[in-house]
Amino acid sequence: DQQVKQNSPSLSVQEGRISILNCDYTNSMFDYFLWYKKYPAEGPTFLISISSIKDKNEDGRFTVFLNKSAKHLSLHIVPSQPGDSAVYFCAASARSSNTGKLIFGQGTTLQVKP
């Protein structure tokens, strides 16, 4: 039972355009969400997070949107740069778990073309 899903395995965009990565979840107990970026053979790098009390969080070129009713979140990268090419994971946690347990999606490979 995959509680966090990233249905698009890959995404290709042109440099300077917007990249939109999507993530869906099924567990209504999830109330904290994160996006990580990962290069091969390296650990994930934290990008941005959002609590369920918000519907938007922005940090520079990165914005995360949360739609609780649809159980959907998205990461917008504007403008996209070639250095953004990597695998992006969304992750979720539930306050009720009271522990550091993150549930990850399968990842979306973003390619930004110069």
Task: By CB under 8 A, name the binding residues for another protein.
Answer: 31-32, 34, 36, 41-46, 49, 51, 89, 91, 93, 95, 97-107
For residues 62-87, one letter each, b for 16 or more C-beta atoms within 10 angstroms of the residue's C-beta and e for the rest, the string is bbbbbeeeebebbbbbeebeeebbbb
Return the structure tokens found at 65: 């949107």
* Residue 18 or 29 having the CB closest to another protein: 29
Rg of the chain in Å (alpha carbons): 14
* 79 cis-preceded (ω within 30 degrees of 0): yes
Min dist. Cβ of residue 14 to another protein (A): 28
Min dist. Cβ of residue 12 to another protein (A): 21
Min dist. Cβ of residue 56 to another protein (A): 18
* Residue 28 or 51 having the CB closest to another protein: 51
